[in-house]
Structure 1
Amino acid sequence: MRTWQVEDVMTREVATVGEETPYRAIVDVLVRRGISAVPVVDGFRRVLGVVSEADLLHKVEHSGAQEERRVFAGRRRRVSREKAEALLAGELMTAPAVTTHPGASLPAAARLMDREAVKRLPVLDDLGRLVGIVTRGDLLRVHLRTDAEIRQDVVQEVLRRVLAVRDGLVTVRVRDGAVTLDGRLDRRTAAELAVKLAGQVSGVVQVTSTIGYDLDDRATAPRTAGGVTPVA
C-alpha cells in the first residue's frame, strides 16, 4: 500500500543562489518569489546550505548599532554579528542544510523538521543533487484530500488488496478525514490490521473501529478490535 511521500507534495521548481550571490540579490529572490529561504548550491546543484530570512535579518538587527565588542561574546551573539557583516550567500547561509529525499514519508519529514527546528527541507536525489523543496505547508496538503478519495483508498487498498476482505463484510465511513470501520472478520489479527492500515492511508486523521471477529487468534479476551485510533 503506497502512502503519500515527499515527492507528492514538494515544489520542484526551486529558486537557488550560489555561494557568491550578494546579499541584496538574495533579498530580491526571496521577495520576488514570495519565499522565506533559498538553498545555496554549487555547479552540480549540490546543496551547500540554506539562507533564510532569519539569516538576512541580522544585518537589519545590527544596522546603525554601536555595539561594544566583547572578548568573550556568546556563540549566538558572535554568529549574529558575523552574519550582520556578511555580504555573500556562502557567508550568510546556515550549513550544513537539513535535507530529505523524494521517497521519504510525510510523517518522517515532519518529524525531521520538528527535531531540527527547521521550516523547510531541500530534497535531494540519490546523487545528492537538489530536485525539490518541501515546507511545513506542503506537508499539510495531504489533509486536503476529499473524504471520497480517502474512503476509496481504505476500501480498495486496505480491505480488498491487502486483506482480501470480501465486499460487504466491513463498512467504511469517512467524515472530515476521520474513518469509521464496522463489520465482522474471521480473525482478530485481521480486524486489528484493518485499523492499523486504515490509519496509514494518506489524509486520515483518526480511525474508529467496531469490527468484530470470530476467532481470537491472539488468545486474548476482548471480542472486538474497537476503540479510537488517533493518527500521528
Structure 2
Amino acid sequence: MKLWRVDDVMTRDVVAVEVGTPYRTVVDLLVGRRISAVPVVDRSQRVVGIVSEADLLHKVEAPGTVRPWFRFSRRRRAEDAKAAGRTVENVMTAPVVTILPSQSVAAAARRMHDVKVKRLPVEDDLGRLIGIVTRSDLLKIHLCSDSDIRRDVTDEVLPHVLGAPGATVRVETRDGVVTLRGRVHVRAAAQRIVSLAGQVPGVVDVTDELTYDVDDSIFVGSDRGMPFGVA
C-alpha cells in the first residue's frame, strides 16, 4: 500500500521572491502566473516568509491610510504597516510554517488545519526551498481509481490482519467508498480491517458489513487472548 508523502503531490517548479522585491513586481507575478502566494527566500534559498494576495490587499483596502498608533490593536498596526509597504520585506508574513518532503500527506493536512493556512512551503533539511504544497495538492490522493483502492485493501490490508489471504472477505469499491462483506473469526479482526481500509489512500468511506464468530472484546483486560484468523 502506497503511503503518500508531501513530495508525491507538491509543486516542484515553485516561484519565489526575495525580501527586496518591489510590491508591484509581486502583484504582476501573482496575476501573471495565476497563483495566490509565493514563498520568500534569502540568497541561500532558505525560506524566510511568504507573501499572499491577502498580504497585498491591505494596500487596496486602505491606500495611504495613517492612523494614530495608540488607537488600534497590534494587529491593526501590522495591517497598516503592510498597507504602507513598498517591498516584500514590508508585506510578507513571517515566520512561515513549512514542511519536509518526507512527511505524509495526512501530516501536511493536519498542519494546515492547525495553523489555518492554505499552503506550506516545502524545504529540505537545510531549510532551502524545494517546492510548495497546497490544499488542492493534498486532494490528489483521491484521484486513485476504485480498482487501485480495491487492490490495496485486498493485497495489503487483509493479509496483514488475517495472516492469510482473506478468502471470506469480499471487497467492493465505488466512487472511493469501500464495502466489506464476509466473516472472520473474532470481532477485533473485523474492526482492524475496517480501520486499516479507511487509511488506504483514496478511500472516502468504509461500509462495514463484516460478521464474526467470537466477540473477543469480552476478554479485554484479561490474559485470555483470542488469535486472529479466518472462519
Gaps of 5+ in 2: 220-231
Give the 3-state SS of the residue equivalent to 1:155 in structure 2: helix
Kindly indicate whether residue 84 of structure 2 is the aligned counterpart of residue 85 of structure 1: yes
Gaps of 5+ in 1: 221-232
Taking structure 1 as reference, are residues 124 and 70 closer, same or farther at Cα in structure 2, changes over 3 Å only? closer
Give the 3-state SS of the residue equivalent to 1:218 in structure 2: helix
Equivalence map 1:183-198=2 (5 Å): 183-198=182-197
Partner of 1:175: 174
Kindly indicate whether residue 5 of structure 2 is the aligned counterpart of residue 16 of structure 1: no
Give the fraction of aligned pairs with identical amino acids, expressed as a percent: 55
Give the 3-state SS of the residue equivalent to 2:178 in structure 1: strand
Partner of 2:68: 69
Structure 1 residues 39-85: Cα deviation after superposition (integer angstroms, max 9, x where no partner)? 001122211000001111111122255x5434332222211111111
Kindly indicate whether residue 53 of structure 2 is the aligned counterpart of residue 53 of structure 1: yes
Distance in 1 of aligned mates of 2:176 and 2:58 = 42
Say whether the 8 Å CA contact 1:3–1:200 is kept in structure 2.
no
Letter in 2 for 1:58: H
Partner of 1:99: 98
Letter in 2 for 1:99: T
- Deviation (angstroms), 1:218: 3.0
- Deviation (angstroms), 1:37: 0.4
Distance in 2 of aligned mates of 1:116 and 1:213 = 42
Deviates more, 1:149-158 or 1:106-115: 106-115
Partner of 1:32: 32
Give the 3-state SS of the residue equivalent to 2:51 in structure 1: strand
Letter in 2 for 1:133: I
Structure 1 residues 87-146: Cα deviation after superposition (integer angstroms, max 9, x where no partner)? 111221100101112222223222221221211011122222222111111111222222
Aligned length: 220
Letter in 1 for 2:136: G
TM-score when normalising by structure 1: 0.87
Partner of 2:154: 155
Equivalence map 1:118-129=2 (5 Å): 118-129=117-128
TM-score when normalising by structure 2: 0.87
Partner of 2:41: 41
Partner of 2:225: none
Partner of 1:223: none
